[in-house]
Amino acid sequence: MPAQPVRHALNGRAGSVLGPSVPQTEEISVSAGGRHADGTTNTTPGGGLMPVQTAPRSQSGVTRDWIAKQPQTGNISSMIANLPGVVYASQSPLGTAGDHITMRGMNESQIGYLFEGAPLADPINYEPYTSMLVDTENLGSVTVSQGAPDLNAPLFNAVGGQISATEMNPSHKYGGFLSLMGGTHSANKEFLRLDTGDIGNTGIRGFASFSYLSNNNWRGPGGLTRYHVDSKFVKEWGDGNSITAIFGFNRQEQTSWREPTAAQWRQYGTSFNYTPTYYPGNSTYYKLNFGDLNSLDVIVPMHFTLAHDLTLNVTPYFVHQNGPSVGGENIPASGGYYGTMQYGDLNQPYSYVNASGQRMLTTAGVDPWNQKTGAINTSIDWTTGINTLSFGYWYSYTMHEELSTFSVVDPSGRAANAYGRYPITLADGSILSGYNLNFMQQVNALYLADTLRLLNDRLVLSAGFRAAMVYRQGTNDVPGAAPYKTTGNYFEPLPQFAASYQVTPHDQIYLNGTTAFRAPESVEAYSQIFDPNASHAVEQPGSLKSEYTIAEEIGYRHSDGLVNFQMSFFNINLTNHQITSSAYIPNTNMLISEPINVGGQTSRGVQGEIGLKPWHHVSPYVSAQYLHSTMDNNVPVSATNAAGQSVIDYLPTAGKTTVGAPKVTAAVGLAYDDNRQFFGNFDLRYVGSQYSTFMNDQSIPGYVVSDITLGYRFPRVGRLKGPKVQLNLVNIGNNLYRSAPGSYAATARTQKGIFGSSVAAGSPVYLTGGNFAALVTLSTGF
């Protein structure tokens, strides 16, 4: 089909960073009517891994030239794994499970995720859940800001940077796109998108798509099924006026992965899984351990030109996410606990007697979390001469409900009464529960920014101030919960400054100073967690202090007709660092987030990337980062003194390397595309060793993973536009490895604290990287 130009949606002049109409991201939006049916144009340097950037901060991205050639089962996080400083920890070779990412020593809960300008991550535990946001076939671009969030972004957790994703724009022409995929692990995906094209002279165009995805787990029994709908409609008129309506729906069920300790990895390797058969007392039966990710998202970005020099931006959005998460557990048939209250006989069938002679029930512990957020982000920008003044306000309200229940498992291994729909109740009619949480969050944020352009726009100076106010209130209705009600009030002043200078049309230098904060993560930070096997809380509230960062960067970038290069040096000082550790509730298979306050952290380093535009159809790419991230304080820990009493002591962790922060990461890519028939990619990623304990006495070794893409485009056949076949080979060396710590511990060996008390050893668990996979995709436009 004839070539059409790529549309660069750069709102405002190059180098502007503050205010909605001058964002710090360069978002490249490719319509479905691009040069090829899949949206690729073969114009982005590095094979789609290095779009041109102008913002005065470290920033990288991917475009359709890269996204369309990756496995169609992937997600936003897996697409950016090769960018500098990004450490993506795979759990599935298909990219369908998990969002574990670190950047500059901070994980995904400390990184702000935006989709079409709205924060669709969980606003309390900050989990991004990118696998349910958008189908890869509709993903237009992803931009990563490794250290600094936008001043105007509706975020209050982005101490570690920001990831912004956009959907492809609807085509101006009527048509659609069909994709069929199959491969190893019984993977299959069917995707269909229909474009309306321009609807008469209304200025409206849009698309709607549906997909079905399923696969078996690559290790252990079980698998995934996913139903997904995307839709985007655009109305444009006048001088830059537009209204966009974005809708997403996701229904997904995934069998959980068991995460081994170091000892279990050595003994079992990839065989440490949930079991395929059931017997009474087997709480690790795979059908009792799974999670649902259900969501409905509505985003309506609006842009209005009020006058020649005055613009208004309004983005209302609504997000509904719910579970359940399910984990197997054996509980006492009588004499167990509901909170701190002991119950009598539960009068349930299918009990058994354990090795200690206690009568027990095997149950499915159901956590049907339910969360709704309504919000609006607004801003107004006034430009006069060389000056742009921006003012904005963001309001968000979230309700979160989480009532854990238990459902008895029958002799066939099926949880009775549809996984907790009719849960176990006590004699007085109360529902047996470990936690009954009701949580409310209200956010107000104001910002004011000014951008000054001097020397014919070569010198751009930006300064701004943001005030973020977060109020939280949580209750736990389980008997004995203390406190029953917890509140949190957070007010943080957040100044920013940035400057850039265009030395030549191809060379830019920049520097910035930024601040950010993160309110405490997860409802577990505010509430106790109970369990029928214990007379007291098995999880206590975490630290309620907020993280705060002060960061500086200085960088240089070069971009000409062939070579793109950028390098930056950074320094980040973080106070009240809340390291997030996933841990199992004792005696259960239910994971919860545990925020641990380890004090201060300092991260310093250098990152860079270089990519070539297609040269004789070849586009190489290289990225790397060196990170020196250390803990600033000694960590307080529970210990036992010489008299056998429980006390608080400190471990000498000051100066130790931060957990989950590899010193060296690198990626190499080589793309080939003749823009007619043949195309292919090769990429290789190296992630250095990572510590999992604050004392640096346990770690995982560094690892290498490499992938290959091979593809062929057929000539147009009838109404079929750009039919192609694509082969993706993932982890071609079938490297079996631990990809990241899944939890952290103070020490892996018994230690003496600073005051002489004995500190017990802990056992971190680990994520296991996916093995080899081969996927074949047939697709075509029409």
The radius of gyration of the chain's CA atoms, rounded to the nearest angstrom, is: 26
Q: Is 39 left (phi over 0), alpha (psi -120 to 50) or beta?
A: left
- Please spell the DSSP secondary structure of 328-393, one letter per residue: EEEEESSS-EETTEEP-----SS-EE-TTS-EEEEEEEEE--EEEEEEEEEEEEEEETTEEEEEEE
Cβ atoms of 268 and 339 within 8 Å: the answer is no
SS3 580: strand
What's residue 557's pLDDT?
Answer: 97
DSSP 175: E
Mean pLDDT in consecutive groups of 10 residues from the start of the chain, 782 residues: 32 38 38 72 94 94 96 94 95 86 93 95 92 95 91 92 96 96 97 96 96 96 97 95 97 94 96 96 95 95 95 97 93 96 95 95 93 97 95 97 94 75 90 95 97 96 96 95 92 95 97 94 87 90 87 96 94 88 60 74 97 94 98 92 90 96 97 95 97 96 97 91 96 96 93 94 94 97 94
Residue 229 tokens read as 């709908």
Residues 6+ away with beta carbon under 8 Å from 265: 272, 738, 766, 768
pTM: 0.92
Residue 194 tokens read as 């229909």
Amino acid at 164: S
Unique residue bearing structure tokens 């006069």: 384
Distances, alpha carbon 303 to alpha carbons 85, 237, 415, 721, in Å: 33, 10, 51, 33
Cβ atoms of 250 and 226 within 8 Å: the answer is yes
Cβ atoms of 29 and 140 within 8 Å: the answer is yes
What's residue 22's pLDDT?
Answer: 36
Cβ atoms of 621 and 62 within 8 Å: the answer is no
From first CA to last CA, the distance across the chain in angstroms is 11
All domains of the chain, ordered by start, with CATH? 7-255+289-324+368-403+434-781 (2.40.170.20)
Cβ atoms of 420 and 407 within 8 Å: the answer is yes
What's residue 588's pLDDT?
Answer: 64
Residue 542 tokens read as 């975490």
Distance from C-alpha of 46 to C-alpha of 68, rounded to nearest angstrom: 14
Cβ neighbourhood burial of 71 (10 Å; 0-12, 13-18, 19+): buried
Cβ atoms of 722 and 36 within 8 Å: the answer is yes
SS3 46: helix
Residues 6+ away with beta carbon under 8 Å from 2: none
Query: Residue 703: phi, psi to the nearest 5?
Result: -145, 160
Alpha carbon 448 to its chain centroid, in Å, reads 28
Residue 339 tokens read as 């909170």
Unique residue bearing structure tokens 């997030």: 580
Neighbours of 589 (CB within 10 A): 20
Distances, alpha carbon 56 to alpha carbons 266, 459, 774, in Å: 46, 11, 40
